[in-house]
A and B are shown apart, each in its own frame.
Chain A
């Protein structure tokens, strides 16, 4: 690569970087370095070859992980973003490479995960000609991206990527896709250095904080007899865990979490009363319909959380803290909205609320937890059945990790059991596909999560169904020697659908009986050690072996075939109608 150094400008602007003549491809990689990117998940192909060629010279600075399918790249980047709090970065080629990103983009969109995906595209002059591996990526990905843009001229690249990173990580984060035609990747231009983006006039990342509404919210909280805090991923995305804990501790309010909010506060926090939603805890669901002030923080009242909306918290005054103004009133009518970044609004609210405790109200949650323990939790964690339960596996895992591990889950029964029973001591430790419910998310996300937090133990808990959706990523683990502990909870069924068929379709088990290969043999083909167990007495030993083995490990635990996850709010029922059996 030849560089033409121009003489520095005279006068005060002497420090301005020298103009270099570089290709669009090099500009992409320079932008990544400026944005602090260290890892790229990707897969090469014809239309992105110039970028990969440039990457050859950047291998020392930019760590590229070759996945086995582009969907895996997006999920790995999501796992990376969620465990590190940084933007996940993906490379894919045009056509099929780009269309394979769609599931991951949709997942990142609904779960507000910051991603920047760069796709190659055919030469600009071939656009619209049905060229080889041409597809209309921009229009395909429009509904599943926060922003997307097609670059056909290399000179646009620095500014467009700066905008991409800014949009991906600011406000309510989300995925951004930049499609770059091959000519723009090759084209050389005079590069005048990189300027980070911090403002786009048509985009306001966070609404203006209205102090008077914060005051109004504080007034409602101070007058409340039975206040209840529910929170979601917004607390984690806003990096506001400490502000959040200060708030609930001063206000003394019982606090429940959504699946996406899990791990933002330590599991053993005295005000933590459990999980919300369809398979959440008994007390938080029932008492949602008994509290007098409901304080929702960084959550979006998903239907899996609210159950039947017209019977959801109708008695309560609702305070909603959210960075996204479109969330206020979207599903649940708000009494007082507190717009803004909770990192900013929570301390304002904390300053205005009175120091309080609600011993009787908190006791109510504890009493209901006792009921739930008898009906659901004890049989799950200390079963008397011959077959193992998913719950006891998680419980034993908790004992061995002390709650310090990152838990990545796939989607289904094991996901709900893991969210219900896994213990956490650190934030950003529960990584799961919440909104989209993407089976196949777990394995690639765990790869990314480990790369994003290399010092932490990362356990991927996956069902036998979901594992078979993206198991080709075992190849990625083999090649990059990523230390991911894979824990397959095998019930030989597509368990969640089977549970619904049992409960609501009269046990007509329609295509949920799934056969599996020998997972241990399969792993060994990828040079990953492992074992399969089906007896309770082997559980603890096998789990410790998994955790103590250096490098990746696959442990398959055979669990009861027809176990169900309870409690459960059946679809169309109110949260108060949650079933313990």
Chain B
């Protein structure tokens, strides 16, 4: 008899859209960004945030892509991404399975802010720091999750926020033990146990995922 939670999860996976972070390890190859991006656009899935950068291993790139979708779609999408020749591995995770941050910069008029705001309190409360202080403007920086960043916008807006920019999400997968050992297996012609992830029986949900 399947547990209620399991049944619920399966149903949710088909009907409820939620935020997923897709992490893709790839070769560093021209054109690969397009090859990955069109996998989303072909299915009319909007990319909420996309970060691409070198990973912990030289020569291997890491994509962090945030989308809103139902789990069934994300699961199939991750497999299709992983099928691409220059993709080593694709994972997808819900927000509680990752540690994630965004970085934001806020440019405000210095006189306004110095006059009307208790700057030290502001910095402490929002974990922000001043990156640049000039006569005409000041740039604050903060890192955090979306709501925290949004809160600081709300605070600064009344004082004439000149410019604001937010980075893409970067995320660490809590359960991941890194990619070094996997890469070693990939480099072999006959990969060993390390990369066997095609678990299926009784764990249909975890096929090709961590």
**A residues within 8 Å of B by Cβ?**
138-139, 142-143, 146-150, 167, 198-204, 207-208, 210, 212-213, 216, 324-326, 328-330, 334, 336-337, 339
Instruction: For A203, list chain B residues within 8 Å (CB).
Output: 85-86
Q: A202-B186, A204-B191, A330-B76 are in contact. Are A142 and B31 (CB under 8 A)?
A: yes
The A-contacting residues of B in range 104-154, CB under 8 angstroms, are none
Q: Determine the residue in chain A with the shortest Cβ distance to B72.
A: A329
**Is the pair B76, A139 in contact by a Cβ cutoff of 8 Å?**
no
Do the beta carbons of B87 and A328 come within 8 Å of each other? no
> At the interface, yes or no: B42 with Cβ under 8 Å from chain A?
yes
Q: Which chain B residues border A336 with CB–CB below 8 Å? A: 200-201
Q: Which residue of chain A is the closest to B187 with respect to CB atoms?
A: A201
Residues of B within 8 A of A150 (CB): 30-31
- Residue picked from A143, A149, A202, most chain B C-beta under 10 Å: A202
Residue on A nearest B60 in the bound complex, by CB: A202
Cβ-defined contact, B26 with A210, below 8 A: no
Report the bound CA distance from A210 to B198 in whole Å. 8
Which residues between 52 and 91 of chain B lie within 8 Å of chain A, taking CB atoms? 75-76, 79-80, 82-83, 85-88
B16 on interface, CB distance cutoff 8 Å: no
Task: Enumerate chain A residues within 8 angstroms of B75, measured Cβ to Cβ.
Answer: 329
CB <8 Å contact, A200 and B85? yes
Give Cα A325 to B198, complex, Å.
Answer: 8
A146 lies within 8 A of B85 (CB):
yes
Q: Does B189 contact A (CB under 8 A)?
A: yes
A142 to B42, CA, bound (A): 12
Does B19 sit at the interface, judged by CB under 8 A? no
Q: Which of A202, A207, A329, A339 is the one whose CB lies under 8 Å from B76?
A: A329
Q: Flag if A138 contacts B31 (CB, 8 Å).
A: yes
Q: Is B155 an interface residue, CB under 8 A from the partner? A: no
Task: Let me know if A201 and B186 touch, CB within 8 A.
Answer: yes
What residues of B have a CB within 8 angstroms of the CB of A328 in the complex?
200, 207
Inter-chain contact B26/A202, CB cutoff 8 Å: yes
- Does residue B34 face the partner (Cβ distance < 8 Å to A)? yes
Q: Is B92 an interface residue (CB 8 A)?
A: no
B20 within 8 A of A: no
29 A–B pairs (Cβ distance < 8 Å), ordered by A: A139-B31, A142-B31, A142-B34, A142-B35, A147-B86, A167-B85, A200-B85, A201-B88, A202-B27, A202-B85, A202-B87, A203-B85, A204-B191, A207-B198, A208-B195, A208-B196, A208-B198, A210-B198, A213-B200, A216-B201, A324-B83, A325-B198, A325-B207, A326-B80, A326-B82, A329-B76, A329-B204, A334-B200, A336-B201
A143 touches B27 (CB 8 A): no
Which chain A positions have C-beta within 8 A of B80? 326
A385 to B183, CA, bound (A): 67
In the A-B complex, the 7 residue pairs with the closest CB atoms: A326-B79, A147-B85, A201-B186, A203-B85, A202-B88, A199-B189, A201-B187
Identity of the chain B residue whose Cβ is nearest the Cβ of A324 in the assembled complex: B83
B75, B80, B200: most-surrounded residue (chain A CB, <10 A): B200
Interface centre among A213, A326, A339 (most CB of B within 10 A): A326
How far, in whole Å, are A448 and B25 apart by their CA atoms in the complex?
Answer: 39
The answer to whether residues A326 and B85 also contact, given A139-B34, A207-B198 and a CB cut-off of 8 A, is: no
Q: How far is the CB of B119 from chain A (nearest CB, A)?
A: 47
Contact code string B193-210 (vs A, CB < 8 Å = 1, else 0): 001101011001001100
Q: Which residues between 158 and 210 of chain B lie within 8 Å of chain A, taking CB atoms?
A: 183, 186-187, 189, 191, 195-196, 198, 200-201, 204, 207-208
Which residues on A sit within 8 Å (CB–CB) of B42? Answer: 143
**In the assembly, what is the distance between CA of A418 and CA of B83, in Å?**
34
Q: Which of B30, B38, B83 has most chain A Cβ within 10 Å?
A: B83
Closest to B79 in A: A326
Known interface pairs A147-B85, A167-B85, A213-B200. Does A142 touch B38 (Cβ–Cβ under 8 Å)? Answer: yes
**Among B31, B82, B198, which residue has the most Cβ atoms of chain A within 10 A?**
B198
Q: Which residue of A lies closest to B196 (CB)?
A: A208
CA distance in complex: A200, B198 (Å) = 20
CB distance from B108 to the nearest CB of A (A): 39
**Residues of chain B with a CB closer than 8 A to A167's CB:** 85
What distance in Å separates the Cβ of B140 from its nearest Cβ neighbour in chain A? 39
B82 smallest CB distance to A (angstroms) = 7
User: How many whole Å from A216's CB to the nearest CB in chain B?
Assistant: 6
A146 — nearest CB in chain B belongs to which residue? B85
Nearest residue in A to B78 (C-beta to C-beta)? A326
Q: Closest CB of chain B to A415's CB: distance in Å?
A: 27
Q: Which residues of A contact B76 (CB under 8 A)?
A: 326, 329-330
B86 x A202 contact (CB < 8 A): yes
How far is A146 from B80 in the complex, measured between Cα atoms in Å? 12
Q: How far is the CA of A334 from the CA of B201 in the complex (A)?
A: 10
The smallest C-beta distance from A218 to any residue of chain B, in angstroms, reads 14
A320 to chain B minimum Cβ distance, whole angstroms, is 10
User: Could you say which residues of chain B place their CB within 8 Å of the CB of A202?
Assistant: 26-27, 85-88, 186
CB distance from B194 to the nearest CB of A (A): 11
> Within the complex, what minimum Cβ distance (angstroms) separates B26 from chain A?
7
Instruction: Tell me the nearest residue of chain B to A147, going by C-beta.
Output: B85
Q: How far is the CB of A109 from chain B (nearest CB, A)?
A: 12
| Cβ contact within 8 Å between B208 and A325 | yes
Within the complex, the shortest CB–CB distance from A174 to chain B, in Å, comes to 10
Cα A149 to Cα B86 in complex, Å, equals 11
The smallest C-beta distance from A138 to any residue of chain B, in angstroms, reads 6
Complex: A207 Cα to B27 Cα, angstroms: 20
A339 touches B198 (CB 8 A): yes
Give the complex CA separation of A210 and B30 in angstroms: 35
| Cα A201 to Cα B191 with chains together (Å) | 10
Write out, one digit per residue, whether chain B residues 3-30 have a CB within 8 A of any chain A CB (1) or not (0): 0000000000000000000000011001
CA distance A149 to B30 in the complex (A): 9
Neighbouring A residues of B200 by C-beta, 8 Å? 213, 328, 334, 336-337
| Least distance between A221 CB and chain B CB atoms (Å) | 16
